[in-house]
């Protein structure tokens, strides 16, 4: 009989949906439920509470993210043969309801104090054991924020968003469920082929026959239907020549559209769901990353953690990723990246006996070119992501390839060709995964990550049933069974041939707004990274170091910083509550670091000597000063004294002191003494005139020091920056205004906090006019002018100064009250170059200043760490930041991104008062021959000053605690070794050069070892006269362990 294909397909679709899927589950009876609104994490404590209340369908509770417990009790109905009894919530149908479905719940079932299973949109029911007579479960849950969006402003939140839908005992027809899986799989496989393909024709004919054969009242026909499908699929002989390793995954954002506390629940929820599936599907392998999330389970649910450990040993649960969290790789600082791996790999080794060998970052917004070297020095051989498939303009031409970093190191990389980490395991999507593979000629294998993600959850029985059928179905690739991601990496790398190489950064052409959103959070990150750097450095040089080094406390502080570097926290793409939590974390880190910095400075300075002041002179308390830098900067200390000292005596130096007032607060400022650079110096304030002075001048539209003259127009915009010699070099383009604030409309097409679009630059407005512009400081340490600009509902107040800080400093306060606007500051430079240089972790990269190709144009907004520079042969200009990360440079205009104003998922993102600084540093020669790198560290490493109690005696000069004799080497970190009282020095070559260097210390070095980044010894270095001479190559990261 003739059959119309489309009509037949409609018949099949309706049969599967209405006659099978919607009849798999039916209600038996309601289950009595009680609700306890409580943040109590313990099931035992929740059971003892006297605040339980009965809850009925239709009852509401909240507010958003409020924690609660359901208690469900009842006698389990008897199951008929071929049926199971299951516990379900809300709408009782076999379906994935979707994230924000009205009947969705996210609840973790507890029994005997431990999570045992999950109920959610992806796991809609929990089968009860056939022998179970009754239940008395507690289910931990939370009230969902249903108003949260990513592309439009969040609406006012519902006070009680959680609408209770009720729990039910339901009957689950297991035979019909299997028939449904058969038909649903076959139908999707059929649709993946053309209508004239044999697979399409034969499967359509078989499914039509199933529709004719099926009788809902005659279960014997069901077995016939299953046999029709199975025999048809078995008769077809067609196979795609490709091997796929399917691995279950539940990408669980550490925080995103929910606060961190909810993620603790989600991790337990996901773990329980996957462990329950492993018991039913012995072939199921599940991979999970992020050591921090395992740490939560270990602390909060020890029995659940032991079950995970057992499944790791059995090979069904795979530990992957190597990092503390899946961190952003643009904004996270250099040493922070090391600590992510250091603490992550150590945790996995200690708790699971596993040596992780992969970097697992499926959802991070770009990858810096320092990573291949970092991975190699952690013995990590494989890199995985799928995020590059999100590029909006150009497509990376590879799926399996070598990725080469700035130093020349290569790592084997794989982008799963399915272009997702939440694969459905539908046959059509599996076939798409094969067709998408861009390196088929070089690699016959690919990885497939399946399961629900972002909010966790992971695979379901639907995924696993599809895979069971796909392994024997026609027209499919070979699908491996019970294989791990690690085994895939090893075999795919071994078998691949003639792989191509991608050199340099993996720049994501998307989510460029994340370099700027949630500005305070980014500023705190930078501040904490540098504070912990200071705290470690100072504490390893205490005389009582071996006894008091605060290793555990500093590690805890580091882990808070690392936690907040998760790829939806520091980028600024989470809900408001996440940043309220983050503020508290950063406050704790700052408190810990400040405490240990001051303690170390006081201890060290107490061992030092300082001449007693002249009896005729007013006595000021002695000071301890420290600046973790090679370059002098400005030291600032609060001052409430009535009399103002005029100088600071430190060793042979007598430096001028100046009282300044900013925002109603008075401070003394002075230049960093030479003795305080990378060591603690003791000093005293004095009323004597200083011996060392600088040349500073200021007038209404002009400032100058020993190096530059800066000229302004009547509104305070810079018109010229010149050197002071007879043939001056001009750094600003003639006729242009510099330090020009610009504002533009910022309405991305979809991802509000994440994205900014090139078309936004078509709306740029220059903020030329100022409300006021005046001289506010006249030296002797610093001269400054101040301007005020008003626009929209916002105000900028900026102090522009010349002083101890290298270059021209811009201290800025913005009361930001805009919506969907983007604020930048522009510097049109008198520089000719088609490339600008940007600092990344452990080095720098060059990017085009033109838009010749689509690849160039796509880089209209880029990320940098502390500086960006535009140089020509004889001179250049660097723009240094103290917590901003977004830049752009088009032709000769270098711009820093300051503030955005998205409205989703945080509707008040960045509204409020911001204080930040940036520095413009003109220099001669190329950046590699300047002091840009050292100055950027100096500007970000805030000098420290505190009172001291030195002994009386002659001036005591101390050389830098650690020093190196070449500008090519930057010392990034000095810390205590992880496993001993030895010191560890981490350095890197910063100028793309090679050569020899000598490391010295104020404490003679006895022995030295070159190590990897986990501090495992590679070789012993020769020590001569207490110093170590070593070789280096371009952008090499060097870790050295020292015995002193």
Residue 95 in this model has a pLDDT that exceeds 80: no
**422 φ, ψ to 5°?**
-130, 55
Beta strand pairing status for 445-450 and 239-249? parallel
pLDDT in tens, 889-924: 999 999 999 999 999 999 999 999 999 999 999 999
Residues near 898 by beta carbon (within 8 Å), at least 6 away in sequence: 516, 519, 812, 814, 823, 824, 825, 884, 916
The reported pLDDT for the residue numbered 157 is 85
Residue 675 in this model has a pLDDT that exceeds 50: yes
Q: What is the mean pLDDT of residues 675-702?
A: 92
Q: What is the mean pLDDT of residues 838-848?
A: 99
Nearest in space to 926 (alpha carbons), one of 1032, 809, 802, 836: 836
pLDDT in tens, 297-320: 999 999 999 999 999 999 999 999
CB 844 within 8 A of CB 838: yes
pLDDT in tens, 503-548: 999 999 999 999 999 999 999 999 999 999 999 999 999 999 999 9
The reported pLDDT for the residue numbered 159 is 87
Beta strand pairing status for 1007-1011 and 1027-1032? unpaired
Residue 100 in this model has a pLDDT that exceeds 70: no
The per-residue b/e assignment along 871-886, b for 16 or more CB within 10 angstroms, e otherwise, is beeebbbbbbbbbbbb
Burial class (CB in 10 A: 0-12, 13-18, 19+), 590: middle
> What CA–CA distance (Å, rounded) separates 376 from 200?
48
Listed range (96-105, 405-414, 927-936) with the worst mean pLDDT: 96-105
Beta strand pairing status for 962-964 and 995-1001? antiparallel
The reported pLDDT for the residue numbered 667 is 97
How does DSSP assign 258-278, residue by residue? S-HHHHHHHHHHHHHHHHHHH
Quickly count helices (H) and strands (E) in the chain. Answer: 19, 59
Mean pLDDT, the chain, integer: 96
pLDDT in tens, 945-975: 999 999 988 877 788 999 999 999 999 999 9
- CATH class, domain 1-222, is mainly beta
The reported pLDDT for the residue numbered 954 is 84
pLDDT in tens, 729-744: 999 999 999 999 999 9
pLDDT-based confidence at residue 99 (cuts at 50, 70, 90): very low
The reported pLDDT for the residue numbered 154 is 76
- CATH class, domain 957-1044, is mainly beta
Fold of 513-608: Substrate Binding Domain Of Dnak; Chain:A; Domain 2 (1.20.1270)
pLDDT-based confidence at residue 97 (cuts at 50, 70, 90): very low
Interior angle at CA 307, CA 304 and CA 308, nearest 5: 90
pLDDT-based confidence at residue 417 (cuts at 50, 70, 90): very high
Q: What is the mean pLDDT of residues 426-438?
A: 96
pLDDT-based confidence at residue 98 (cuts at 50, 70, 90): very low
pLDDT-based confidence at residue 3 (cuts at 50, 70, 90): confident
The reported pLDDT for the residue numbered 959 is 86
- Distance linking the first and last C-alpha atoms of the chain: 92
Token pair, residue 728, equals 């001056």
pLDDT > 70: what percent of the chain? 98
The reported pLDDT for the residue numbered 554 is 99
pLDDT in tens, 368-399: 999 999 999 999 999 999 999 999 999 999 99
Domain 697-940 indexed as CATH 2.70.98.30? yes
CB 978 within 8 A of CB 350: no
Q: What is the mean pLDDT of residues 577-592?
A: 99
pLDDT in tens, 268-278: 999 999 999 99
Token pair, residue 231, equals 């025999």
Residue 615 in this model has a pLDDT that exceeds 90: no
Token pair, residue 68, equals 């609660």
Q: What is the mean pLDDT of residues 723-728?
A: 92
The reported pLDDT for the residue numbered 103 is 64
Beta strands in 96-166 (DSSP E): 107-111, 114-119, 125-127, 134-142, 162-163
Beta strands in 107-265 (DSSP E): 107-111, 114-119, 125-127, 134-142, 162-163, 167-173, 239-249
CB 84 within 8 A of CB 126: no
Helices (H), ranges, 759-824: none
């Amino acid at each position: 009989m003739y059959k119309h294909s489309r009509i037949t397909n409609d018949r099949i679709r309706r049969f599967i949906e209405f006659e099978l899927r919607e009849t798999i589950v039916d209600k038996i009876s309601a289950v009595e439920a009680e609700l306890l609104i409580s943040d109590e994490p313990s099931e035992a404590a929740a059971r003892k509470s006297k605040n339980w209340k009965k809850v009925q369908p239709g009852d509401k509770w909240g507010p958003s993210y409020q924690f609660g417990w359901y208690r469900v009790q009842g006698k389990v109905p008897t199951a008929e043969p071929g049926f199971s009894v299951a516990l379900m919530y809300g709408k009782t149908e076999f379906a994935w309801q979707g994230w924000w479905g009205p009947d969705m719940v996210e609840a973790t079932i507890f029994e005997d104090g431990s999570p045992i299973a999950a109920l959610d949109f992806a796991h809609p029911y929990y089968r009860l054991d056939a022998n179970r007579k009754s239940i008395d479960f507690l289910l931990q849950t939370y009230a969902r924020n249903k108003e949260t969006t990513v592309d439009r402003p969040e609406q006012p939140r519902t006070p009680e968003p959680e609408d209770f839908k009720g729990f039910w005992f339901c009957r689950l027809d297991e035979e019909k469920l299997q028939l449904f899986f058969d038909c649903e799989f076959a139908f999707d496989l059929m649709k993946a082929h053309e209508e004239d393909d044999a697979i399409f024709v034969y499967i359509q004919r078989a499914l039509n026959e199933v529709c004719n054969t099926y009788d809902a009242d005659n279960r014997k026909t069901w077995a016939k239907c299953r046999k029709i499908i199975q025999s048809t699929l078995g008769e077809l002989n067609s196979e795609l020549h490709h091997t796929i390793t399917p691995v279950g995954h539940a990408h669980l954002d550490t925080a995103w559209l929910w606060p961190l506390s909810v993620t603790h629940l989600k991790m337990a929820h996901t773990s329980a769901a996957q462990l329950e599936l492993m018991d039913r599907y012995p072939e199921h392998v599940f991979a999970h990353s992020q050591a921090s999330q395992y740490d939560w389970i270990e602390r909060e649910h020890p029995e659940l953690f032991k079950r995970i450990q057992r499944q790791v040993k059995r090979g069904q649960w795979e530990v992957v990723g190597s990092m503390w969290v899946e961190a952003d790789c643009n904004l996270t600082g250099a040493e922070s990246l090391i600590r992510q791996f250091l603490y992550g790999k150590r945790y996995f080794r200690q708790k699971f006996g596993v040596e992780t060998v992969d970097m697992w970052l499926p959802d991070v917004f770009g990858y810096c070119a320092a990573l291949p070297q970092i991975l190699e020095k952690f013995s990590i051989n494989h890199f995985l992501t799928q995020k590059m498939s999100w590029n909006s303009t150009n497509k990376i031409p590879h799926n399996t390839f070598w990725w080469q970093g700035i130093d020349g190191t290569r790592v084997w990389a794989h982008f799963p060709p399915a272009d997702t980490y939440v694969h459905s395991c539908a046959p059509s999507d599996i076939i798409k995964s094969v067709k998408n593979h861009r390196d088929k000629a070089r690699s016959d294998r690919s990885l497939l990550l399946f399961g629900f993600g972002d909010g966790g959850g992971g695979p379901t029985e639907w995924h696993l049933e599809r895979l069971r059928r796909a392994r024997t179905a026609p027209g499919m690739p070979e699908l491996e069974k019970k294989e791990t991601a690690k085994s895939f990496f090893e075999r795919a790398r071994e078998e691949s041939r003639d792989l191509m190489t991608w050199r340099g950064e993996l720049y994501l052409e998307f989510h460029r707004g994340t370099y700027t959103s949630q500005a305070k959070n980014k500023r705190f990150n930078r501040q904490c990274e540098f504070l912990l750097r200071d705290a470690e450095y100072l504490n390893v040089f205490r005389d009582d170091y071996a006894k008091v080094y605060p290793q555990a406390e500093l590690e805890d502080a580091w882990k808070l910083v690392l936690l907040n570097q998760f790829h939806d926290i520091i980028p600024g793409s989470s809900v408001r509550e996440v940043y309220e939590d983050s503020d508290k974390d950063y406050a704790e880190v700052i408190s810990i670091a400040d405490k240990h910095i001051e303690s170390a400075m006081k201890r060290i300075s107490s061992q030092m000597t300082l001449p007693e002041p002249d009896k005729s002179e007013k006595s000021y308390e002695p000071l301890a000063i420290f600046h973790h830098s090679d370059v002098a900067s400005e030291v600032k200390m609060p001052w409430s004294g009535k009399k103002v000292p005029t100088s600071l005596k430190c060793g042979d130096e007598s430096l001028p002191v100046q009282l300044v007032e900013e925002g109603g607060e008075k401070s003394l400022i002075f230049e960093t003494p030479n003795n305080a650079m990378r060591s603690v110096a003791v000093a005293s304030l004095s009323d004597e005139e200083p011996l060392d002075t600088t040349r500073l001048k200021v007038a209404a539209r002009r400032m100058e020091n020993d190096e530059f003259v800066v000229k302004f127009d009547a509104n305070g915009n810079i018109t010229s920056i010149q050197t002071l010699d007879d043939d001056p070099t001009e750094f600003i383009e003639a006729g242009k205004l510099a330090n020009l604030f610009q504002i533009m409309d910022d309405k991305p097409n979809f991802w509000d906090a994440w994205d900014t679009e090139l078309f936004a630059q078509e709306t740029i407005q220059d903020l030329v006019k100022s409300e006021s512009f005046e001289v506010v400081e006249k030296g002797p340490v610093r001269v400054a002018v101040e301007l005020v600009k008003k626009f929209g509902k916002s105000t900028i107040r900026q102090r522009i100064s010349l002083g101890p800080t290298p270059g021209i400093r811009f201290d800025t306060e913005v009361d930001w009250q805009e919506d969907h606007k983007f604020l930048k500051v522009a510097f049109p430079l008198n520089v000719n170059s088609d490339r600008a240089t940007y600092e990344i972790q452990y080095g720098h990269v060059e990017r085009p200043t033109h838009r010749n190709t689509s690849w160039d144009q796509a880089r209209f907004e880029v990320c940098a760490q502390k500086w960006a520079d535009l140089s020509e042969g004889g001179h250049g200009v660097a723009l240094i930041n103290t917590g901003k990360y977004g830049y752009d440079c088009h032709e000769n205009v270098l711009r820093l991104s300051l503030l955005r104003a998205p409205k989703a998922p945080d509707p008040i993102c960045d509204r409020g008062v911001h204080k930040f600084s940036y520095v413009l540093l003109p220099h001669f020669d190329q950046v590699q021959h300047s002091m840009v790198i050292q100055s950027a560290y100096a500007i970000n490493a805030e000098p420290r000053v505190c009172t001291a109690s030195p002994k009386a005696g002659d001036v005591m000069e101390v050389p830098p605690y650690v020093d190196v004799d070449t500008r090519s080497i930057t010392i990034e970190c000095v810390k205590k070794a992880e496993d001993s009282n030895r010191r560890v020095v981490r350095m890197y070559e910063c100028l793309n050069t090679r050569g020899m260097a000598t490391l010295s210390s104020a404490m003679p070095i006895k022995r030295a070892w070159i190590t990897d980044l986990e501090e495992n010894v590679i070789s012993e270095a020769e020590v001569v006269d207490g110093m170590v001479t070593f070789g280096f190559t371009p952008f090499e990261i060097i870790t050295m362990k020292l015995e002193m």
